[in-house]
Amino acid sequence: MTAPKVSVNLCCYNSERFLEETLASIFSQTCADYELVIVNDGSSDRTDEIVRGHIARGREIVYQPQPNAGLGAARNKALELSKGELIAIIDHDDVWEPEKLARQLPLFRDPEVGFAGCDALYVDSAGRPLGRYSLQAPLRRGRVLRELFLWNFIPCAAVVMRRSAIEKAGGFFKPDYRIAEEYELFLRLAGVSSFDFDPEPLVRLRVHPGSAGWDCARERAEMRRAYGECLRREPALAAGLGADELAIKRAGLWLRPGTSPLKRAALRGVAALGPAAVDALAGAKRFLARLAA
């Protein structure tokens, strides 16, 4: 049997609230040359029932339930089960527009492109729009390691990756990352390949308290680790950054493009307070943002 062009990887954990909408957005893709690989990472709600219901109704789904092992391990299992040349990620509470895959696949005609994305819209629990992802930072294309290191402009649910680029970058997700596992891999991909994107918002990203990134202390710890590993792996990147940029990133903070000198000084001051203070401030900011959503 011919392998599909794209393997869509969907990892689930207690996903019943939004899973039907996410699945509908996958099934409605105008690009038909894909397989859907679902890993159920130890859900205790109706996730298994929902997935098996679609299989019983004739949907072709590669399905793997497993004991809870964390998102990095679940993503790796999905990759192991995938047969496509390209790997597309979608999270269990996000939604794709019907033409999402069809618009991104032509970007891979360039052999230098190892991964690709698109713009996205933030939505709340009810699907109401909250703003456009690219307003945080312009999308960039080409060799984007420096820009991506300073500020993550790639929504996870927007990404399609070339399998050979993943292998060149050192392989799968690191399973001991549970929140920043995709960003850590994106940094590795940016070190060995080019990035491209479609400028349209082809993804809706759900913002709600149950999102994986809610644990800000763990998120910041993983970010600090990812930054440190990247700097050791990419000495040219470290040499090209200024003292303020290095201090801010080693504290686990984002550095938005175009940040004013005054804001940079403030971020440097926060970084000097140490990890506990950084985590507390980041947690408060995240809480207020999700409360508003």
What digits encode the pLDDT tens for the residues 120-156?
999 888 878 888 999 887 899 999 999 999 999 999 9
What digits encode the pLDDT tens for the residues 68-124?
988 888 999 999 999 999 999 999 989 999 999 999 999 999 999 999 999 999 988
What percent of the chain shows pLDDT beyond 70?
90
Spelled out in words, what is the top-level CATH class assigned to the domain 6-211? alpha beta
In this prediction, residue 130 carries a pLDDT of: 87
Centre a 10 Å sphere on the Cβ of residue 161 and count the other Cβ atoms it contains.
26
Q: Is the predicted pLDDT of residue 287 greater than 70, yes or no?
A: no
- Is residue 159 within 8 A of residue 89, CB to CB? The reply is yes
Low-confidence winner among 9-18, 168-177, 255-264 (lowest mean pLDDT): 255-264
In this prediction, residue 250 carries a pLDDT of: 84
In whole angstroms, what is the distance from residue 245 CA to residue 93 CA? 33
In this prediction, residue 217 carries a pLDDT of: 75
Q: What is the mean pLDDT of residues 190-199?
A: 97
Pairwise pLDDT comparison (60 vs 253), residue with the higher score: 60
Q: Is the predicted pLDDT of residue 7 greater than 90, yes or no?
A: yes
In this prediction, residue 277 carries a pLDDT of: 62
Q: Is the predicted pLDDT of residue 283 greater than 80, yes or no?
A: no
Amino acid making up residue 292: A
Categorize the per-residue pLDDT at 275 as very low, low, confident or very high, splitting at 50, 70 and 90. low
Low-confidence winner among 109-123, 183-197, 218-232 (lowest mean pLDDT): 218-232
pTM for this model (two decimals) = 0.88
What digits encode the pLDDT tens for the residues 235-245?
999 999 988 88
In whole angstroms, what is the distance from residue 280 CA to residue 275 CA? 9
Ranges for all domains in the chain classified under CATH 3.90.550.10: 6-211
In this prediction, residue 293 carries a pLDDT of: 46
